[in-house]
């Protein structure tokens, strides 16, 4: 790899110290306990407050906490250069605990305090709950990880924007890359969690298999229906035995977080990773590799950002160097860059509109192109879906200080794999 990681002093950061960086962490108010002013608010004086809502405790904290670091870096960078129109940014932080009800209460509380520009969110369920109340609250939400296609399809609201790629883009980009690299691996199956996220990611992956493998090999792949796992399971042996009995050579995995760690640990003694010629993980980024270290099996992993893939992007280098200085972590997840991009999107929208009023910000962000750590990014006007590169890297455990290594990476232009804009309508598949 040509990417050189910079040396840094041994600076560590924990949640307690992070939340002292000028951000509010007051407990969530009970629903209905605050007066909810319904006007389309403009923050006319003092600092411009941005509401950050994400999972900062519990099982999804490894996603939400790095997201907060990225948000704070962006705020600090913008404030260091004089803020926006001479006004400083200030983060107001809420922990949604990955629970839809808590997320909705947090959004209402922020809106009642005049914090109309909100962002963050790990869980699609939380994003859908908040999206449903945005118009009533005269607020805006930019999600930085939530992947449900419903957010830009049948549940779309003009007050919602997605700053990252979506499952359709990710699944098609991944299969395009795999077809080009592994044209002989034509028998595929999957291991997916049995809920909306798992089923959606598998459907999008199958769509890509049926589209891109025929283009490369001249024939359709053999697709065996994915094996469904239970969220929070502690024993995956039956699932693994089922996978071992299949004739599949390639496997798609969208089990995530601690569940993925357990699954991979239990699969190794069965020889699953010797049987599988290719394993493609949809979105765990570096999280599982950091947990398993040398025991992490080789696989391709989907990500929102990888600094080594964007050496030529100045904002990426700056973000990586600052993140490293604050955390001493040489492998930031892409959730860092997505929150960073959301803050910069709001900054650009405020500059262009000359306002912090909700309708003005929405109008400014529709069709907006702005600079991010992955290069220029655009919010599509019709459905507010971001057009950005889709990123993958091939990881494996290693006997080094980190316990794992990046073997190679790939990027696919987002515009080449994005779905058609159909706000208000369900996602339609053309090849499955």
In a shared domain, residues 281 and 196: yes
Residue 340 within a domain: yes
User: Residue 3: inside a domain, yes or no?
Assistant: no
Beta bridge partners of 160: 141
pLDDT digit string, tens, across residues 108-156: 999 999 999 999 999 999 999 999 999 999 999 999 999 899 999 999 9
Please report the pLDDT score of residue 120 as a whole number.
98
- CATH number for the domain harbouring residue 230: 3.40.50.2300
Alpha-carbon dihedral 386, 391, 213, 244, rounded to 10 degrees: -120
Are both 157 and 281 inside the same structural domain? no
Q: What's the rounded Cα separation, in Å, for the pair 56 and 78? A: 24
How many residues comprise the chain?
432
Quote the CA–CA distance of 168 and 150 in Å, as a whole number.
11
pTM listed for this prediction: 0.89
Task: Tell me the Ramachandran region of residue 82: left when phi exceeds 0, alpha when psi lies from -120 to 50, beta otherwise.
Answer: left
Q: Are residues 28 and 126 in the same domain?
A: yes
- 96 and 132 both lie in a single domain: yes
Handedness of CA 421, 379, 53, 12 (dihedral sign): positive
**Continuous H helices in 301-417:** 314-327, 334-353, 358-365
Q: Report the distance separating Cα 156 and Cα 256, nearest Å.
A: 26
Residues 45 and 118 in one domain: yes
Q: Which residues of the chain have pLDDT under 70?
A: 1-44
For residue 60, the model assigns a pLDDT of 86
DSSP state of 414: G
- Tell whether 107 and 231 lie within a shared domain: no
72/156 same-domain check: yes
**Are 183 and 34 within one domain?**
no
pLDDT value of position 195? 85
Domain that holds residue 230: 168-303+391-416
pLDDT at site 59: 82
Q: What is the pLDDT of residue 386?
A: 98
- Name every residue whose Cβ is closer than 8 Å to that of residue 188 and which is 6 or more positions away in sequence: 209, 221, 222, 223, 224, 248, 249, 250, 251, 252
The DSSP call for residue 132 is T
Does residue 283 sit within a domain?
yes
Whether 97 and 25 have beta carbons less than 8 Å apart is answered as no
Q: 121 and 23, same structural domain?
A: yes
Verify that 258 and 279 share a domain, yes or no: yes
- E runs forming strands in 96-139: 117-120
Give me 263's structure tokens.
Answer: 């699954």
Number of domains in the chain: 2
- Flag whether 292 is in a domain: yes
Domain-embedded: residue 140: yes
Residues 119 and 143 in one domain: yes
Q: Which of 410, 368, 419, 367 is nearest to 390 (CA)?
A: 410
CA 348 from chain centre, in angstroms, equals 21
Burial (Cβ within 10 Å: 0-12, 13-18, ≥19) of residue 55? buried
| Same-domain pairing of 189 and 131 | no
């Amino acid at each position: 790899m040509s990417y050189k990681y910079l040396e840094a002093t041994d600076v560590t950061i924990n949640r307690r110290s992070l939340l002292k960086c000028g951000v509010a962490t007051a407990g969530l108010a009970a629903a209905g306990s605050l007066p909810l002013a319904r006007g389309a608010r403009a923050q006319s004086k003092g600092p411009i407050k941005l509401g950050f809502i994400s999972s900062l405790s519990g099982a999804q904290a490894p996603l939400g906490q790095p997201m907060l670091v990225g948000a704070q870096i962006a705020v600090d960078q913008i404030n260091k250069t004089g803020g926006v129109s001479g006004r400083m940014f200030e983060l107001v932080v809420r922990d949604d605990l990955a629970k839809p009800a808590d997320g909705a209460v947090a959004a209402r509380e922020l809106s009642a305090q005049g914090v109309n520009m909100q962002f963050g969110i790990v869980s699609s369920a939380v994003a859908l709950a908040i999206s449903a109340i945005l118009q009533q609250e005269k607020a805006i939400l930019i999600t930085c990880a939530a992947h449900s296609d419903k957010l830009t399809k049948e549940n779309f609201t003009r007050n919602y924007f997605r700053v990252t790629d979506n499952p359709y883009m990710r699944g098609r980009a991944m299969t395009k890359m795999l077809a080009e690299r592994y044209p002989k691996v034509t028998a595929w199956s999957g291991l997916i969690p049995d809920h909306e996220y798992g089923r959606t990611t598998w459907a999008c992956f199958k769509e890509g298999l049926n589209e891109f493998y025929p283009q490369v090999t001249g024939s359709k792949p053999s697709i065996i229906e994915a094996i469904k796992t239970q969220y929070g399971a502690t024993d995956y042996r039956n699932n693994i035995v089922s996978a071992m009995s299949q004739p599949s050579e390639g496997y798609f995995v969208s089990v995530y977080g601690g569940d993925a760690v357990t699954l991979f640990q239990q699969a190794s003694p069965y020889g699953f990773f010797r049987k599988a010629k290719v394993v493609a993980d949809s979105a765990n980024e570096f999280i599982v590799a950091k947990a398993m270290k040398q025991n992490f099996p080789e696989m391709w992993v989907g990500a929102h950002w990888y600094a080594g893939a964007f050496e030529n992007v100045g904002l990426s280098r700056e973000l990586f160097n600052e993140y490293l200085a604050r955390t001493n972590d040489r492998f930031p997840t892409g959730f860092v860059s997505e929150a960073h991009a959301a803050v910069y999107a709001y900054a650009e929208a405020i500059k262009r509109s000359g306002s912090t009023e909700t309708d003005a910000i929405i109008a400014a962000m529709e069709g907006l192109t702005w600079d991010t750590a992955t290069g220029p990014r655009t919010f599509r006007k019709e459905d507010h879906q971001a057009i950005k590169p889709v990123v993958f890297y091939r990881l494996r455990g290693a006997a080094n200080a980190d316990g794992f290594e990046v073997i190679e990476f790939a990027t696919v232009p987002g515009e080449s794999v994005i779905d058609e804009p159909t706000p208000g309508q369900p996602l339609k598949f053309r090849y499955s």
